[in-house]
A and B are shown apart, each in its own frame.
With several copies, the nearest count.
Chain A
Amino acid sequence: MKFVATAGDRAQTVEISGGRGQYRVTIGEQVWEVDARPTPQGIYSLLIGGVSYVADVTEREDVAIVEVGGEIYAVKVEEATRYVIRTRGGPVAGPGPQTLVAPLPGRITHVAVKTGDRVRAGDMLLVIEAMKMENEFKASAAGTVSEVRVQAGQPVNAGDVLLVIA
């Protein structure tokens, strides 16, 4: 079975066959014989060429967060056919409006921008207090604030749109 696995900017075709603990995995030119055991908790024991790895796999929406040997990877895995359909139209046209979404529930304690403000990368946008910590959110690219949907003091849920930059 063929998948495309995307980590960071790099998409690679990964072919996998076998089952019941014994797999053959092909990434590019390289073939891996993998002896794998799962646990219900998402902890995998892998033996590859005698080397023992323990990998955690947390599946979130469309991405698997994998932790192995103290390193963390976010890997998006798609069936190869779906990946082709999704990307056939070519890369998405240039940057459009960007949306700051609350990544966790909390309370807005400070909003540093208002509609119409121009921001540069690194400018502070707002602060969410959660789990007794003040978490600052900064702009990752330049733009103009087109919408501010929250104000200081307001509670927010994970997934709420906080502000939009055009």
Chain B
Amino acid sequence: MTIAKVLVANRGEIAVRIIRACREAGIGAVAIFSEADRDALHVQMADEAYPIGPSPATESYLAAEKIVGVAKAAGADAVHPGYGFLAENAAFAEACAEAGLTFIGPPPAAIRAMGDKTAARRIARELGVPLVPGTLEPVAGDEATRAAARKIGYPVMVKAVLGGGGKGMRLVRREEELAGALRLARGEAQSAFGDASIYLERALAEPRHIEVQVLADGQGCVVHLGERECSIQRRHQKLVEESPSPFVDAALRERLGEAACRIAQAAAYVNAGTVEFLVDAEGNFYFLEMNTRLQVEHPVTELVTGIDLVREQLRIAGGEPLGYGQPDVRGRGVAIECRINAEDPFAGWLPSPGTIRGLRVPSGPWVRDDSGVYEGYTVSRFYDTLLAKLIVWGTDRAAAIDRMARGLAEYKVVGVRTTIPMLERIMAHPDFRAGRLSTGFLDRVMPDLGAGQGRHASIALIAAVLAQYERLGRGTLAAPPPSPWRQAARPGWRGRPE
């Protein structure tokens, strides 16, 4: 059951992350790429790479049958789905198994149990884990929904039963808005998940989004690796994550971790997974859902615990026992992750595809860049906007924030707009520094923010004029660098001059 060659059924930074783990484990890595992705970094990093179809994901990265076929043809014995695409698709996990490929993730039954959000809520309820008040079954019909919403109490969240990633989700403040929100949410759910089923939850006021990482081996051993706080979001999508949460003390951590492990055990979970909670200002926590895959923000847990989650996924999928228990998992310091997206935060987070003309990536002490791009790479309009994740570690939260601010200031991306300037503002914000986080943070902070704040206005004018002046050939910019050393670096004798 040892894994020798893994097909990575993904693209971008997470494909690169998985390929790196394979390389370090001495496991072969096979990439797949769509027509838009021949130049992608994961193609260059892999040992082998095969075309999988046209650029739209439905015809390539979501084409389960084709992917299984390539895996077999390349002689892979396992498939890592990353996150997104087919990562939480139980049918794909089954197709892998039928083809004799190890699916690096949980068993199909666990994916199904947690993929239906109302079924997951029922499991949590049976275990006595607190839930956000709401329905335990999908709601059907406007009348029944209205009644259920009234019973829960407004504001309510309308959520897709097969949801995830903020899709098919609507906040409803008053009964008048309910019918319209239902229509939109059902439509989104149908097109995103192929299923229009909806359930309701009470909307908490400015809750924190806190999630617990679990690892479970095939022998029934389950541990948790502490929590991540993911409250800084835009459009219900995470932008900044950290571990541990500044809000969670040792006692709450133990209760959250214990609840997460019980849910994983009840679902007969194996491999890495994440149990998400909402936590209110009083420290009450409520089970939200379980993600049956690696999370985008897994690196903050890695830097704090020292445990390589992708390496653990490979080991567990290969049948190895974890080999350690809860007391062996010890955190040190604080880690923060910022998502570097090709979006313009000053223009409503509008996506910004294009060619990365210049790229300088920060590094140095305790700075990690998990990236899927390089200088000269063209960001495609076909896939999501995540270019890279910048992750830092510090002995405490203040040190980690200072380090992140330093790293963001070093990060230069020329040619596409990115979230970097907004992330810099978040790191500098007194509420963020004080740990006053909630999922409403960005909406609360955003209104104050303009693009240029004027401190460097003159410098910007100078740079712009200089660029134009030089383009017109008036200054012939700087001395050209001295020509590189043009002789072979070989001491000793050179032959007779030709």
Is A69 within 8 A of B456, CB to CB?
yes
Q: In this complex, what residue of A is CB-closest to B424?
A: A70
Distance (Å) between the CB of A113 and the closest chain B CB?
14
- Tier of interface size on chain A: 35 or more
Whether A150 sits at the interface, judged by CB under 8 Å, is no
**Which residues of chain A have C-beta atoms less than 8 A from B180's C-beta?**
none
- B48: A residues at CB distance < 8 A: 50-52
* B453 contacts partner chain A, Cβ-Cβ < 8 Å: yes
Quick check: B50 and A103 within 8 Å, CB to CB? Answer: no
Q: Mark A22-44, 1 if CB is under 8 A from B, else 0.
A: 01010100101011111111111
- Is B412 within 8 A of A92, CB to CB? no
Interface pair B38/A35, CB less than 8 Å apart: yes
Contact A73 B451 (CB under 8 A): yes
Proximity string of chain B (448-471) to chain A, C-beta cutoff 8 Å, 1 when within and 0 when not: 000111111111111111111111
**Docked CA distance A37–B38 (Å):** 8
Q: Which residues of A contact B47 (CB under 8 A)?
A: 51-52
Given contacts A21-B477, A42-B358, contact A104 B466 (CB under 8 A): no
User: Contact between B494 and A20 (Cβ–Cβ < 8 Å)?
Assistant: no
Q: Contacts of A56 on B, CB cut-off 8 Å?
A: 358, 412-414
Q: Does B495 reach chain A (CB closer than 8 Å)? A: yes
Interface pair B349/A58, CB less than 8 Å apart:
no
Tell yes or no: B409 within 8 A of A by CB.
yes
Count residues of chain B with CB under 8 A from any CB of chain A. 86
Q: How far is the CA of A106 from the CA of B196 in the complex (A)?
A: 24
Chain A residues within 8 Å of B454, by CB: 71
Are A77 and B464 in contact, with the CB atoms below 8 A?
Answer: yes
Q: Does A111 contact B (CB under 8 A)?
A: no
Question: Known contacts A45-B39, A71-B451: does B493 contact A139 (CB below 8 Å)?
Answer: yes
- Distance in angstroms from A4 CB to nearest chain B CB is 10
Check if B464 sits within 8 Å of A5, measured CB to CB.
Answer: yes
In chain A between 87 and 118, which residues have their CB closer than 8 angstroms to a CB of chain B? 92, 95-101, 103-106
B59 within 8 A of A: no
Residue of B nearest to A2 (CB): B465
Establish whether residues B474 and A100, one from each chain, have CB atoms under 8 Å apart when the complex forms: no
Collect the chain A residues with CB atoms within 8 Å of residue B456's CB. Answer: 53, 68-69, 71, 73
CB distance from B329 to the nearest CB of A (A): 34
Establish whether residues B350 and A16, one from each chain, have CB atoms under 8 Å apart when the complex forms. Answer: no
When C-beta atoms are compared, the residue in chain A nearest to B413 turns out to be A56
Which A residues are CB-close (under 8 A) to B50? 50
> For the complex, what is the distance from the CA of A64 to the CA of B457, rounded to whole Å?
13
Chain B residues positioned under 8 Å from A68 (CB to CB) = 456, 459-460, 463
Is the pair A136, B348 in contact by a Cβ cutoff of 8 Å? Answer: yes
Q: What residue in chain A is nearest B480 (Cβ atoms)?
A: A20
Is A84 interfacial (CB 8 A cutoff)?
Answer: no
Q: Does A9 contact B (CB under 8 A)?
A: no
- B413, B414, B485 pick with most chain A CB within 10 angstroms: B414
Q: A56-B412, A92-B496 are in contact. Are A73 and B460 (CB under 8 A)?
A: yes
Q: A5-B464, A57-B464, A66-B460 are in contact. List 4 more A-B contacts (CB 8 A).
A: A75-B465, A99-B493, A103-B350, A103-B489
Show the binding face of B for A, using Cβ within 8 Å: 31, 38-39, 43-50, 74, 235, 342-343, 346, 348-353, 357-360, 374-376, 381-385, 408-409, 412-415, 417, 420-421, 424-425, 451-472, 474-479, 485-497
19 A-B pairs whose Cβ atoms sit less than 8 Å apart in the complex: A3-B468, A3-B469, A25-B466, A38-B470, A39-B376, A41-B357, A42-B415, A47-B49, A48-B462, A53-B456, A57-B463, A64-B463, A71-B451, A74-B488, A103-B491, A106-B351, A135-B349, A137-B492, A158-B485
Q: 7 smallest A-B Cβ distances: which pairs?
A: A41-B358, A19-B475, A75-B464, A21-B478, A73-B460, A131-B351, A55-B463
